[in-house]
Each structure stands twice: as structure tokens, then as C-alpha cells.
Chain A
Amino acid sequence: MGLSKKDVQHIANLARLEVSDEQIDDYVEKLTQILDMVDALKEVDTSEVLPLAHPLHMSQPLRVDEPTEKNQRDLFQANTEHVEQGLYTVPKVIE
């Protein structure tokens, strides 16, 4: 199944990626090739099959409700220059 340029722009927007006009044809072509390849799955009858999210049958372990962390804000915020008054900063968001 082919993808249109509009599809590609829509996906890029959902994924917060910028796709320039020069790149879009390449995306259309390669994503279409990939989708053609995975389309093979559509031929498989899975009406009686349950989806498998994890390869092993295990259930979720539970953690005891106890605080274990110390404040390490300075260490963690060393990975960005964009901090003011302890807040991470971004361009003004309008709600």
C-alpha cells in the first residue's frame, strides 16, 4: 500500500519531525517499500490467535511504597543549559 505526501506529513507531525520538501519524496518511497514488505502479514489468518506483547509469561512485580530517592536536581540539570529558578525552560506555550 502506498503512502501519499499528505500521509507522510501527517505522520511526521504526530512524531514531531520536520520533513522538508526535498526529503519528502525519499520518505514516501522508502516508507512505501517498508510497508509493502510488512504487508505480507495481512495474508496470515490470525482469527484464533491472541496478540503477544511479551515473549515470556511473567507478571508485573510490585514495589514497596517507600521513597528511595534523594534530591539530585543539580546533577540532573547539568545536562541542559535551559534552566531558570530550578525550572526547565521552553519557549512560551500558549494554552
Chain B
Amino acid sequence: MNWETVIGLEIHTQLATQSKIFSGERTRYGAEPNTQACLVDLGYPGVLPVLNGKAVAMAVKFGLAIGATIERRSVFARKNYFYPDLPKGYQISQYELPIVSRGSVVIRLDDGSQKRVGITRAHLEEDAGKSLHETLKDRTGIDLNRAGTPLLEIVSEPELGSAAEAAAYMRKIHQLVRYLGICDGNMQEGSFRCDANISVRPSGDTELGTRTELKNLNSFRYVEKAIEFEIERQIDVLEDGGKVVLETRLYDSDKDETRPMRAKEEANDYRYFPDPDLLPLELDQALLDSIKESMPELPWEKEERFATDYGLNPVDIQILTASSEGAAFFEASAAGLAGNFELAANWNKGELRAALNRDGLTITDSPVGGADLNSLLRRISDGTISGKTAKEVFEAMWAGEGDADEIIEARSLQQITDVAALEKVVRQVVADNPEQAEQYRGGKQKLLGFFVGQVMQATGSKANPAEVNKLLRAKLDADEN
């Protein structure tokens, strides 16, 4: 039997605010346990939540970016359940009336095709704290620093048909939230996490199969592997005549398998109801307008502009616009290089990324900035140095020896473009190699490379190769006559 897979993703993005969603406590990662948990975060008797305006603005930004409806009136609800790292015994979330509904993004698949994926809703909620099961002997430790961190939960339609599509969608959302500056996207620190709802059904069936939920998939690779495993597992179960059980499963990356969670023995009944401590969130036009004006260029808008303005090919555009920082770097490096943008593209993809990877740096930490690289590329473009020499200059710039011109000057790396000086060398080289000159003239044109090499050696690689070629040809052809 042929099976069809249906996947929906719930992505939790931690919003990059300074303070928590309902309290004035900090949100920095990695603080000592419970040193960033104020009375509101701890759920002390008598304390009350007050909504962070920045978190609201960030949610609206996301909604505008995915072409969604921004609900002018949304409501916070309580999701009631007991867990030691949930201090109030309920999580404040949005249930019936979320702030963002009905949007979509387009994902690009490996075969180059595109697919539009619907986003059912995106809602604001608070994060829970952390339960540490391994830190203490015989006890579970509770750290509530994370409690109250603002989250935007982005819920896709069940429209993803494979693990690869799910991963592509997750990457697209990751790119978008980083473009918007609403999430740092750090998956190791849990700033961007994902749960997946997965079911399979016989191809052609219209009814959905029983789903399982995979929790906390915290890397793109795990998402793909975990979903692949789970699809196979469900198909095996069904083909053996069994039934898929509606349950929550955890992915074990060490064993590359999923297993059911043990804790939740009873079906959840979250008893959602509107949080009486919070009033309906009403957005006025002025606020929406000001957020609209602050919208950055979106990934797909940038891609389009890169094609128009720089004439780059789609693959290069994908690479260069993957992050807004990378794109900005490229644009700074390409300034004024009209007609030679490809040079900038190649350097961004090649030397720059290689150096970053080698030193484990992100583009924002690059010791050579976009404008620095631009001044180097201009020297290639105007013939001052060769591409090969430029690599040497780049390494020196990377090591902090100065800007491009200073290094070229200090190391005397300017190409010899003085025709008279070059002619002298060419004459000497041809005279020193009469045998090869004879063969060249006899038709062995490949020997031109030999002569070029000799000239470059004689000039310490500083000769302008194009000029050398021209002069050598002229000399060898002239001697024939």
C-alpha cells in the first residue's frame, strides 16, 4: 500500500524582549537558577500579570510578514495543568482568539519547486520554567528563570507532506523570525523549538489518520530524522494490522528513535477560560500603522531585489539572503562594483564563509566587515591586485594588519601595470627561452602559459596577468615576423 504523510508543526519562538511577557524580570539566558524569577514569575499570592507591549508588537510584525489577519481584539486564556515548573498551575496563553490568524509562507524544496504552507494561527503565551531531573540526587530541581519568557507559538496547517518539507518550513520560519528581529533563533538555548503532529493515511484517503505528537525537536536535523523515524514507525504499525495510538512521544537523538512519554497517563483537560487578570487586547490603527512602518525587508522581497539589482543566479541569492546580516554584508561588499557583482558574490560565498567557518565565527563577528571587503574587491576590480594576491591581502586583513590599501602598500603587492617595465621582462623571458619560443611559433600555443608563469615568477606574481598575456602574444608573434 502507498502511504501519505500529513505533518503539522507547532513552532515556539522565544521573543527577543528585554523583559518577560507579564513581568519586569530579565530574560537573559544562562543566569544562576532562580535569580531571574520575580514574584510574578513565581506565582506568588496576590501578584498580577501586566502585558509587555514589545511582545505584542513582535507578534504583529510576524503576522504582517506572513500576510495574516491581525486580530484587532484578542484574548488571553488560562491553560490549567499541574507541573512543578509551571508555578501558577496554569499557563497564560491565547486560545479562542489569538492575535494572528490565517497566514502563509512559501517554502522552496530541494528540487527547486515551491510550496505555499498555511499558518493557522500564531499566539502569544508565557514559557514555563525548567525541571532538572539529573542535576540533583534523588530530587528534581526547578529553575524558574525561564518562566514567563514571551513565546510566539506558530501553528501550521497540517499541510506538510514529508520530513523534508517540514524541515524546509521550519527553516523558512527560522529565517523569517530572525529577519524580523523578533527571535534570536538560537536552537541550542531553546529559543526556537518545535513540536510535530504526524499521521499517515493510505494515499487518496481524505480522512486524517491518528496522529502522534513529537515534542521538543531542537535542531533542523533532528526534526527531519525524528519525523522520518516516526513516519516509518506508524507505517510499520499499520501494515502489521495495528493501530497508531494518540500520544506524545519524545525523540531520543542518541538512539535515533521516538518513544512515548511516561508522565501523562490521563487525557489532558486543560480547562481553558479567559484569564480574568488580563483584559482583552485591543489594537488600534495607530499602533498597527507604526508597526507596519517599522517592518524590515522580508526574505522573499530581498531575494527579488537581489535578482533585479545584482543579476545573481537563484542559488547564489538563496545563500546570500539566508540571513539579513549575511545579505547586508554582501550589499556592503558589493557597493560600486556594478558589472562585477559576481565577484562580490563569489567572495561572500567563498573566502568569507571559509574563514568564518574555520574560526567558528558568525558573520556579525567577522573581523573583516562588508565595507572592508568592498575596498579589497575594488582593488581587484581596478586591476591593482590579482585575485590570487587578494587572498593574501584578505588573510592579512583578517589577522588585523590593516585595511586593504595599507596591506597592499606595506607588502608592495600592487600589480605591475607599467607597460614599459613589463615589456622589458617579457623581452628577457622570451630571449632566455628560445627553444620554447620556437615551439610556440611552430603551433604549440599552450606554451603561452609557460611564458606567463616565467613572467609572473620574475615579477614576484605582481604582474597584471591580462597585460602579461597581451604583451607576450605581441612579442612572440612579432618575433616570428
The answer on direct contact between A and B (beta carbons under 8 Å) is yes
With both beta carbons as reference points, the residue of chain A lying nearest to B35 in the complex is identified as A71
Q: Are A95 and B142 in contact (CB under 8 A)?
A: no
Could you tell me the distance in whole angstroms from the C-beta of A11 to the nearest C-beta in chain B?
A: 10
Provide the B391-404 mask, 1 if CB < 8 A to any CB of A, else 0. 00000000000000
B243 on the A face (CB < 8 A):
no
A58: chain B residues within 8 A (beta carbon):
279
A76: chain B residues within 8 A (beta carbon):
34, 37, 39, 42, 44
Q: A54-B276, A87-B141, A88-B141 are in contact. Are A63 and B50 (CB under 8 A)?
A: yes
With both beta carbons as reference points, the residue of chain B lying nearest to A95 in the complex is identified as B263
CA distance A62 to B99 in the complex (A): 15
Number of A-B contacts defined by CB within 8 Å:
126
Q: Are B140 and A92 in contact (CB under 8 A)?
A: yes
Q: Are B34 and A87 in contact (CB under 8 A)?
A: yes
Q: A63-B52, A68-B24, A95-B263 are in contact. Are A90 and B140 (CB under 8 A)?
A: yes
Q: Are B53 and A66 in contact (CB under 8 A)?
A: no
Could you tell me the distance in whole angstroms from the C-beta of B249 to the nearest C-beta in chain A?
A: 11
CA distance A87 to B35 in the complex (A): 10
Known contacts A63-B24, A64-B53; 13 further A-B pairs (Cβ under 8 A): A60-B51, A60-B278, A60-B279, A60-B280, A62-B51, A63-B51, A73-B34, A76-B34, A86-B32, A88-B34, A90-B142, A92-B140, A95-B261
Could you tell me the distance in whole angstroms from the C-beta of A68 to the nearest C-beta in chain B?
A: 3
Find residues 34-72 in chain A having any chain B CB closer than 8 Å to their own CB. Answer: 53-54, 58-69, 71-72
**Contact-residue bracket for chain A:** 20 to 34
Q: Are B18 and A67 in contact (CB under 8 A)?
A: yes
B266 on the A face (CB < 8 A):
yes
B178: chain A residues within 8 A (beta carbon):
none
Q: Is the interface of A mostly helix, strand, loop or mixed?
A: loop
On A, residues with C-beta under 8 Å from B are: 13-14, 16, 53-54, 58-69, 71-73, 76-77, 84-95
B209 on the A face (CB < 8 A):
no
Q: A59-B280, A67-B26 are in contact. Are A89 and B140 (CB under 8 A)?
A: yes
B18: chain A residues within 8 A (beta carbon):
65-67
A69: chain B residues within 8 A (beta carbon):
23-26, 38
CA distance A60 to B76 in the complex (A): 10
Say which residue of A62, A64, A93 sits within 8 Å of B131 (CB atoms).
A93
B37: chain A residues within 8 A (beta carbon):
73, 76
B335 on the A face (CB < 8 A):
no
A68: chain B residues within 8 A (beta carbon):
19, 24
B461 on the A face (CB < 8 A):
no
CA distance A86 to B31 in the complex (A): 11
Q: Are A66 and B24 in contact (CB under 8 A)?
A: yes
CA distance A91 to B133 in the complex (A): 10
With both beta carbons as reference points, the residue of chain A lying nearest to B55 in the complex is identified as A65
Q: A63-B50, A68-B19, A94-B263 are in contact. Are A89 and B55 (CB under 8 A)?
A: no
With both beta carbons as reference points, the residue of chain B lying nearest to A93 in the complex is identified as B140
Q: Are B141 and A63 in contact (CB under 8 A)?
A: no
A64: chain B residues within 8 A (beta carbon):
53-54
With both beta carbons as reference points, the residue of chain B lying nearest to A83 in the complex is identified as B34
Q: Are A95 and B56 in contact (CB under 8 A)?
A: no
Q: A14-B271, A73-B34 are in contact. Are A87 and B142 (CB under 8 A)?
A: yes
B281 on the A face (CB < 8 A):
yes
5 interchain pairs, CB-CB under 8 A: A86-B33, A87-B135, A88-B84, A88-B142, A93-B84
A95: chain B residues within 8 A (beta carbon):
133, 250, 261-263
CA distance A58 to B279 in the complex (A): 7
B286 on the A face (CB < 8 A):
no
Could you tell me the distance in whole angstroms from the C-beta of B474 to the nearest C-beta in chain A?
A: 69
Q: Are A89 and B25 in contact (CB under 8 A)?
A: no
B331: chain A residues within 8 A (beta carbon):
none
B418 on the A face (CB < 8 A):
no
Q: Are A63 and B53 in contact (CB under 8 A)?
A: yes
CA distance A62 to B291 in the complex (A): 15
CA distance A59 to B284 in the complex (A): 11
The 10 closest A-B pairs by CB, nearest first: A87-B141, A68-B24, A62-B53, A65-B54, A59-B282, A86-B33, A88-B142, A69-B38, A60-B279, A89-B139
